[in-house]
């Protein structure tokens, strides 16, 4: 099986599973529907990019097909198209952003707020 075949199989599975979810919700009105649905593509995790630079290029490529801009915020690259409450998003968390996040959470538990101030 080639990488393209794996991608095609995965794509077909995602589409089929989304239809199953829609049918399930349609058949079970007693079950609440999600408030939002967010379908995300992370190029470094789905195998379409090996490096950060390749992942950024992949998000840019996806954005060009969607006709949406790439937002860059705090070192992260994101493009999104929304269908009402359903969103399709492609994003990259850069190594720099992940390092900042790890540094921030390294303080977790080191500071305890005064209960009266909360």
Per-residue pLDDT of 52-109, as tens digits, reads 899 999 999 999 999 999 999 988 999 999 999 999 999 998 888 778 778 878 877 7
Query: Tokens 């199989």 sit at which residue?
Result: 9
Specify the DSSP element, H or E, that contains 17. helix 3-27
Segments in the chain forming alpha helices (H): 3-27, 52-66, 95-105
CA distance 14 to 87: 14
Per-residue pLDDT of 10-54, as tens digits, reads 889 999 999 999 999 999 999 999 999 999 999 887 777 889 899
């Amino acid at each position: 099986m080639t990488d393209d075949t794996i991608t095609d199989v995965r794509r077909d599975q995602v589409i089929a599973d989304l239809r199953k979810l829609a049918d399930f919700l349609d058949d079970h009105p007693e079950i609440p529907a999600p408030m939002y649905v967010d379908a995300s593509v992370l190029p470094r995790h789905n195998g379409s990019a090996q490096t950060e630079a390749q992942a950024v290029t992949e998000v840019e490529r996806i954005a060009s097909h969607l006709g949406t801009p790439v937002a860059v915020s705090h070192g992260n690259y994101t493009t999104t198209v929304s269908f009402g409450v359903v969103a399709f998003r492609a994003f990259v968390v850069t190594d720099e952003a992940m390092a900042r996040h790890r540094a921030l959470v390294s303080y977790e538990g080191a500071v305890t707020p005064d209960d009266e101030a909360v």
